[in-house]
Amino acid sequence: MPLPVVDTRPYFRPLCAEIVKLFHSLRDDDWVRPTVAGTWRVRDVAAHLLDTSLRRLSMHRDGLMPGGRPPANENELAALINGLNATWVHSASRLSPRVLTDLYAVASTSLADFMESLDLESAAKWPVSWAGQSESRQWFDVGREFTEIWHHGAQIRDAVQAGPFREARWLRAVLDIALHALPPAYRRERSLEGGSLALNVTGSSGGSWILERVDDDWQINEISRREGEGAGTEATTRITMTDETAWRLLFNALPPRDLHSLVHIEGDAALAAPLLRTRAIVI
């Protein structure tokens, strides 16, 4: 069956509250711990979370567009996002952890209010570019925003050894949204003539999916539990990983040195290669 429409609107408020609770628990030295987000420390990721809330409210709710117009292409979008991220994190270095926490508590509450007010089936203000879309439904854009908050929150939890988020449905929603990145990633691989790839993600947030070429296009479908554990065994390639590994891979948080030990590949390795390079973020 096709990837589901995922309503993440009710998840913003409890997820953001969980992040605020974590911020309150951090010691001074926790705020300067390194994270998997490049050179960003915990305080930098926290500042970025604040920025994404304020940016979404300003640009989507209030209609303020930096530069006066939306980006014309993927390169302009990446340049805009990277520039906004860098300037904000630099400026936020003058803010104390307490100020960052208090501001995020307010901004994330306003963000949850706004997200809960949106119509899932309306046209999104911006398409989800990493999914290869020129137009998106609002549920998908809202879901993209949820994945942004969740994976940065997970990066912070990882850095301070707080363990994974306990809500399995949050990560399952993140995976359901992120897997939309696979078909366009495979469409860009002109050398691939066809085949099918079965993806099995273990863990409480996991599931099984099959990606295959149908009528000169790549499509991904969820393998329902009713189809049984044997579904996908005839695929050209079979990949197995945990849900923890899956989000790290799709959100650029899995070191290349860990790929071979954490991602199990059976069958045609060439067909697995694009998946290992797929990211559900703009980079």
Cα separation values, 245 from 149, 174, 196, 252, Å: 18, 13, 21, 11
- Which ranges in the chain are annotated with CATH 1.20.120.450? 9-166
- Which ranges in the chain are annotated with CATH 3.30.1050.10? 181-277
The pLDDT score that the predictor gives to residue 109 is 98
pTM flag (> 0.85): yes
Ranges of residues in the chain whose predicted pLDDT is under 50 = 226, 228
For the chain, the 3-state helix, strand and coil shares in percent, each to the nearest 5, are 55, 15, 30
Tokens of residue 253, six digits: 């948080």
* CATH superfamily of the domain spanning 9-166: dinb family like domain (1.20.120.450)
Q: In which element (H, E) is residue 219 found?
A: strand 217-222
Cβ-Cβ contacts under 8 Å for 159 (sequence gap 6 or more)? 30, 33, 34, 35, 36, 42, 45
Which spans in the chain are helix H?
A: 12-25, 42-56, 74-92, 97-116, 138-159, 168-178, 182-187, 243-250, 259-262, 269-277
- CA-nearest of 109, 171, 119 to 142 is 119
The pLDDT score that the predictor gives to residue 67 is 67
- CA geometry: angle 166, 168, 169, nearest 5 deg: 130
The pLDDT score that the predictor gives to residue 50 is 98
Please answer whether residues 212 and 171 qualify as being in contact, where contact means their C-beta atoms are separated by less than 8 angstroms.
no
| 239 vs 219: CA distance, rounded Å | 16
| 263 vs 239: CA distance, rounded Å | 7
Domain 181-277 has CATH 3.30.1050.10: yes
Angle between helices 12-25 and 138-159 in degrees, nearest 10: 20
Tokens of residue 24, six digits: 């309150």
